[in-house]
Amino acid sequence: MKTLTDLAGRTGNLTFSWLALINRFSRFAADSFRHTFVAPLLGKRRPSAGETFRQMVVVGVDSSPIVITIAMFIGMILAMQTAYQLKKYGIVNLVGDLVAVSITRELGPLITAIIIAGRIGASYAAEIGTMKVAEELDALRSMALNPVRYLVSPRLLAMLVMLPCLTVFANLTGIFGGFIISVFNLGLSPVLYYNHVIEALVLKDIATGLMKSLSFAGIIVLVGCYQGFTVENGAEGVGRNTTNSVVASIFLIILADCFFTALFYFAF
């Protein structure tokens, strides 16, 4: 009997703590959007342009080498794996179609988001968490500067612009990776590959991919910053929340990906 009530109690507690977490996170997200998009329209202070630009450099320019490199390898891998199967039916010339569509619709946005969640989302959690430990967040508030407007808004704006840009790069280099395998290994002519890619792609493939990447951008920034703001217990807390930010971002990215893919597949 005791174990049974224990179980019920524990399930209840767990449910409540998850609900509380969702509640706090949604309020944080609403607050971030209000400070970034609504407050400037109402004539209140807008996020600093200089800081936004600096964050865009960190997110976009500094991350592009790694994103480009990984996307190219993904394109090559995809070409080899599809060729392996297409060979059985003698339609290796369709490699370009498959690579282009899967990269733009799915892998380009997803791989980019996962790289950036690890590279940038984690650094947001660590940076803001360290600031909290060092009383810097209190210092901001005591100087009449809102930490959400000062820290989250520039990062949110930067990410919303730069993640789709990086995704475009990833799409291009991913398709180029497929090109390398097709031309040098499968013996397809460059023109044939190019024509197949152009024929297979429709605007919707690229647009849905970019729409996904916008939602991923929001997830990465909000989760990373939220984990930073909720750091407790000093340095140990910073480490734990940094890890949490990567795990939670990737989980939510995959969840959002599944949702949007289903939406585009069934509804449009």
Candidates 61-69, 72-80, 100-108, 133-141 — which segment interacts with another protein by CB under 8 A?
133-141
Rounded distance, CA 92 to CA 74, Å? Answer: 18
**8 A C-beta contact, residue 39 and residue 149:** yes
What helix, strand, coil percent values describe the chain, rounded to 5? 90, 0, 10
The vertex-170 CA angle with 154 and 89, nearest 5°, equals 150
- What is each CA distance from 266 to 211, 258, 260, in whole angstroms? 16, 12, 10
Candidates 2-10, 123-131, 194-202, 220-228 — which segment interacts with another protein by CB under 8 A?
123-131
Q: How far is the CB of 263 from another protein (least distance, A)?
A: 37
Q: What length is written for the chain? A: 268
Q: How far is the CB of 140 from another protein (least distance, A)?
A: 8
**Tokens, residue 63:** 């991350």
Residue at 82: amino acid letter? T
Q: Which of residues 145-184 bind another protein (CB under 8 A)?
A: 145-146
Strand, coil or helix: 224: helix
Q: How far is the CB of 23 from another protein (least distance, A)?
A: 19
Candidates 55-63, 116-124, 139-147, 215-223 — which segment interacts with another protein by CB under 8 A?
139-147
Q: How far is the CB of 124 from another protein (least distance, A)?
A: 13
**Is residue 5 within the footprint of another protein (CB under 8 A)?**
no
**Is residue 42 within the footprint of another protein (CB under 8 A)?**
no
Q: How far is the CB of 5 from another protein (least distance, A)?
A: 20
Candidates 13-21, 75-83, 94-102, 136-144 — which segment interacts with another protein by CB under 8 A?
136-144
> CA nearest 216: which of 170, 176, 175, 147?
170
Give whichever of 50 and 65 is closer to another protein, judged by the CB atom. 50
Query: Count of residues binding another protein (CB under 8 A)?
Result: 14
